[in-house]
Amino acid sequence: MELSGWDAAAVCAKAITYAATLGAAGAVFFLEYSGGLLHELPRTRIRRLIGTLLLGAALASCARVLLSGASMSGELAGMFDSGFVRMILGAGEGRATGMRMAGLALAALAIPSNPRFRALALLGAATASISFAGVGHIRALLPNFAPLLLLCMHLLCGAFWLGALGPLLIAARDGSDREVALLASRFGKLALGVVALLLAAGAGVLWTLIGDAAQFWSSDYGRMMAVKLLIVAALLSTAAVNKLYLTPKLLSGDAKAVIQFRRSVKTEMVVGALILLITAAFTTVAGPPQ
Amino acid sequence: MLKLAILAVALSGAMVAGPCMAHAKLQSSSPAKDAHLTEAPKALTLTFNEAAQLAVLKLTGGGKEIPIPVDKNAKASPSFTFPLPALAPGSYTVQWTAMAADDGHVTKGSFVFSIAG
């Protein structure tokens, strides 16, 4: 599989779109389930993070369309060719991007901290998260309702998990040790079910796309997916350390545990970013075996 | 989380409608891949395994690109035919980029043919 510089740039733009969108959505979910566990300073900083990520997601979505034009044409001029842009937007990307922008706009209602807008902000966060299912390999399946549903669950759960990491880091930096302990405990309890659903939904999507174990290893898509699964296993290990080792230490009041927790969350963020990068790669430059 | 699950069901229903296609692969071409022709072809035809939009088509020979206008606004089709100017003997390379209309995925490829002198 040969990749040009423009192909690589388009993949990076897609990965950044994933990270910013799922990060913003997950932070909106975090504000909802963290309830009164955090005092105002970290909550304000999390809302600022949401604003930054929402803007980043919107810009990355636009950049992705333009870079796809460059990738298709193999040259810079492709970014500014209205014919390419129309083609890309007409082929499902327009639907996905429109849905994402609408979701991001609604999710921005989480920033003013007005309780009247909470439900709309959550709706926006969910919409933006599942917008990635508006285009892609799943669309090629017949029938595709169940695979689409599984993919939406996978995306929502991914947003919940990866999008919590930024707010957790802010809380670990600005919150009291007691607040961090209670948040880590609450997140850990919720994450058990969410991660199980994430893995089950992901396995279901993978099965519908590949379906044959022999084809998994013989295709670029399958091999890149295998790399993703290895990185997911690494992320699960880090999360397990947080839940089983660090969270009990936090709850017992161990002062060093907060520093270890911050380090662990940063590690999860790096690993999470790698997962999004490899996902962007195999959903752009490879396809499931047909 | 249950409310989000119900929401996902409702929203995913909105995305079910619409044609479903997959990656566009070049099924055949005229001239065929690696063809050795005794006379210059009058047209270039690309046939894909499904309806696609042709984004890029480049024909190069003797180090020069032979312009072939591609209508990016054309509707998706499984087959595209382009008239060719008179081609001199030599080796030619066709590079193409196509986009599957619904899943939006791009495939690229190339093949060569030659015209005997």
- CB contacts under 8 A, B 15-74 vs A, are 15-16, 18, 20-23, 53, 55-56, 72-73
Put simply, the answer to whether B20 touches A152 (Cβ < 8 Å) is no
Per the structure block, which two tokens stand in for A238?
A: 């880090």
Q: pLDDT tens-digit profile of A171-193?
A: 999 999 999 999 999 999 999 99
Distance from CA of B46 to the nearest CA of A (A): 18
Q: What is the mean pLDDT of residues B64-85?
A: 93
Cα dihedral A108, A113, A115, A120 in deg (nearest 10): 10
- How many CB pairs below 8 Å do chains A and B form together? 107
Alpha helices in B19-104 (DSSP H): none
Q: What is the mean pLDDT of residues B30-54?
A: 95
Give the range among A34-38, A163-167, B95-99 with minimum mean pLDDT: A34-38
ipTM of the complex: 0.77
- pLDDT of B10 > 50? The answer is no
Q: Angle CA(A158)–CA(A133)–CA(B53) in degrees, nearest 5?
A: 145
Put simply, the answer to whether A287 touches B104 (Cβ < 8 Å) is no
Put simply, the answer to whether A92 touches B15 (Cβ < 8 Å) is no
Predicted confidence at residue B20, as pLDDT, reads 35
Query: Rounded to whole angstroms, how far apart are CA atoms B59 and B41?
Result: 13
CA dihedral for A106, A107, A113, A115, sign (positive or negative): positive
User: B104: which chain A residues are within 8 Å (Cβ-Cβ)?
Assistant: 88, 91-93, 135-136
Q: pTM of the predicted model, to two decimals?
A: 0.89
Query: Rounded to whole angstroms, how far apart are CA atoms A100 and A97?
Result: 5
Mutation choice for A interface testing from B2, B3, B12 by most A CBs within 10 A: B12
Q: Provide the residue type at B53 as one letter.
A: Q
Distance from CA of B43 to the nearest CA of A (A): 23
